[in-house]
Structure 1
Amino acid sequence: MIELVTDLVIELPRNQRDVIATHVAADHPNEACGLLLGHKVGARFVVHQAVASQNIADEPNHRFEIDPGLRLRLQKTARDGGDIIMGHYHSHPNGVARPSETDKAGIFEADLVWLIAAVAGGRLQDIAAFMPWADCGGFDKIELRET
């Protein structure tokens, strides 16, 4: 079990949680994924928008891969003064809202928040937030505050 061991907080507006819930339900039984846009103030990550991505993974029912074209477009917007990409979300169909071994193996950016959504019966059951370790070897659970 991953314990809450950090002072980091991610603030997720209810309407953006609803965006994620709708997306993960629509993509079930495959994993859904997307990017989180917003800003960071100290130890607080503030989500302004959850942007759905097509899951381009070869095995979308077991893995996720965010469309790099979407990411590039959003990075350009950030350079032009928009919100930054501060994290991403993905679902675990018929799973739990915590990182899998596949997730741990897929960490390559330690500065992005991970939201993991547990889905059962095509509906969002739980959502939790995690921050990768600096060495990309695992995760710490962080507080998820719905606003």
Structure 2
Amino acid sequence: MAPVSISKDLVTALERAAWRAHPNEACALLLGHQSAACMEISQVAITENVTQADPQLTFEVDPTMHILLQKAARVGGPAIVGVWHSHPCGKAIPSEADKARSIEPGWIWLISADAPDGMTHAAFRAGEDDARQFCQVPLLMNDS
């Protein structure tokens, strides 16, 4: 599977969002494109976690932001290629709640989790035939 590439600056922005939201899950939409070599994340759009469930255990991206970004993509803006969220008290792997809520085939799921020595990060791709099936993919964090 093709790796996911993201800049260290964008990862730092996601980590800050996770710390601000703690102990709740934070979330963002990932914008970018598929190149020949990898899925390139060029921007992150941090949104409010608007879940009606327990925000310490699950998340929901602000649907207004999601719609605005979809409209922007239709007129030449970057495509939404995935979602990021934090696991404040878990591991950087999809939870059962994540799997149940995954509806976008092929999307990248970037997950950040608190760890004793800082945050850990992992990337997964939702299945093309079944978006609830995840496959871990290499995560490349670049300087630029």
Q: Structure 1 length normalisation: TM-score?
A: 0.89
The Cα of 1:124 is off from its aligned counterpart by 5.0
Q: Which of 89, 95, 108 lines up with 1:94 in the alignment?
A: 89
- Is the Cα–Cα contact under 8 Å of residues 103 and 132 in structure 2 kept in the other structure? no
Q: Which of 133, 138, 141 lines up with 1:143 in the alignment?
A: 138
Structure 1 residues 124, 109: closer, same or farther in 2, change over 3 A?
Answer: farther
- Is the Cα–Cα contact under 8 Å of residues 24 and 31 in structure 1 kept in the other structure? yes
Q: Which of 50, 53, 56 lines up with 2:50 in the alignment?
A: 56
- Is the Cα–Cα contact under 8 Å of residues 24 and 124 in structure 1 kept in the other structure? no
Structure 1 residue identity aligned to 2:59: F
Q: Distance in 1 between matches of 2:138 and 2:67?
A: 28
The one-character-per-residue Cα deviations of 1:99-144 (angstroms, maximum 9, x if unpaired) are: 11111111111121000110258x9510100011221232100010
What secondary structure, in the 3-state scheme, does the structure 1 residue paired with 2:73 have? helix
Structure 1 residue identity aligned to 2:12: D
**Runs of 4+ residues deviating >4 angstroms:** none
How many residues end up aligned between the 2 structures?
Answer: 140
Where in structure 2 are there 5+ consecutive unaligned residues? Answer: none
Q: Which of 102, 122, 128 lines up with 1:107 in the alignment?
A: 102
The worse-fitting range, judged by mean Cα deviation, of 130-139 and 96-105 is 130-139
Identity of aligned residues (%): 37
- Is the Cα–Cα contact under 8 Å of residues 49 and 59 in structure 2 kept in the other structure? yes
Structure 2 residue identity aligned to 1:114: W
The Cα of 1:9 is off from its aligned counterpart by 1.0
Query: Which residue number corresponds to residue 83 of structure 1?
Result: 78
- Is the Cα–Cα contact under 8 Å of residues 34 and 51 in structure 1 kept in the other structure? yes
Query: Which residue number corresponds to residue 65 of structure 2?
Result: 70
The Cα of 1:71 is off from its aligned counterpart by 0.7
Query: Which residue number corresponds to residue 40 of structure 2?
Result: 46
Query: Which residue number corresponds to residue 8 of structure 1?
Result: 2
The Cα of 1:92 is off from its aligned counterpart by 0.6
Q: Structure 2 length normalisation: TM-score?
A: 0.91
Q: What's the RMSD between the two structures over aligned residues?
A: 1.5
